[in-house]
Amino acid sequence: MKPTLSIVAPVYNEAEGVREFIDAVVSAVRPLAIDWELVLVNDGSKDATLSIVQEYQADVPELVWVNLSRNFGHQAAVTAAIDHALGDAVVVMDADMQDPPSLIPELLSAWKEGAEVVFARRVDRSETGLRRIGFDLFHKCFRFAIDFPIPPNVGVFSLLDRVAVDHLKGLNERNRFLPGLYSWVGFTQAFVDYTRQDRSEGEPKQTFKALVKYAIDGVLSFSYKPIRLLGALGLLTATSAFLIAIFFTMKRLLGFEVAFTGFTTLVILISLLGGSILVAIALVGEYVARIYDEVKQRPAYIVRETSRDD
């Protein structure tokens, strides 16, 4: 029987906390008296995560697991989870308990009231220090860069109607930023506010390098503004140089002595210009690399095995 509700989550080296997550989902959803499933995607875990999930199937028949051939990254694993969901409504979340399963009934209520994309919106986050500053700075830059509205303080934690899921599955992008895609597909949106908690067990699995890639993918996947800003900077630099050249030429023609001094200033200006050119080349390279990824048409993930019969 096709489930009404699918709860999907990627898991990567979550042996310490995956039991608590499954138990919390079961406690939140079983009292709702609806047909449901829990789809967990093992993203190349090196610990006992997969075997623990498999052991739970005897007690939780609604549990479906998908084992990827290697670690493809968070966004690819979430994409795999969405692709394997069969429900009319799909709740997407992480398995580290920072996204509380107790919020699922509220997301479902908003969906039943007609919303097709229900965002779980953070009113406060557990991160502190540089990590929190980095997240806040990224979201401000992202909202400035893109040309369509994206709600602040939202992530992958959300509920998607089947119509939104089907359109997301039709997008074949390799470098994905799913919160942006949720907004890009449109449809009727609603919000459920919550306070994001600390991880229940272990340390965050996303490295600094992965978070930087996540930020770059988010901006470059949805905006041409970075390269246009570089073009504007180049035009401003060229115009300034042209005006300075005219200024010194006119002084010379009018008989004023022009002394060309300031070796240090010249070196600084050349270094600044050279650095700007290298940044521009790197940015163009990022766009070209993404085009190359799309042209290769490699899948976002590869499934090694799954427990689903069909």
CATH architecture group of domain 5-222+298-306: Alpha-Beta Complex (3.90)
**What distance in Å separates the CA atoms of residue 120 and residue 99, rounded to the nearest whole number?**
9
CA 229 and chain centroid, separation: 23
Structure pTM? Answer: 0.71
- Secondary structure (DSSP) of 153-182: TEEEEEEEEHHHHHHHHT---SS--HHHHH
pLDDT in tens, the chain (310 residues): 567 899 999 999 888 888 899 999 998 988 888 899 999 999 988 888 898 888 888 888 889 999 999 998 888 899 899 999 998 999 999 988 888 899 999 999 999 988 898 988 888 655 555 656 666 665 666 666 566 667 777 788 889 999 999 988 888 777 777 777 887 787 888 888 888 776 555 555 555 565 566 566 666 666 667 777 777 777 777 777 777 777 777 777 776 666 655 655 676 677 777 777 777 787 777 778 777 777 777 888 899 988 886 5
Q: In the chain, what are the domain boundaries?
A: 5-222+298-306, 225-296
SS3 3: coil
What pLDDT is attached to residue 207?
Answer: 56
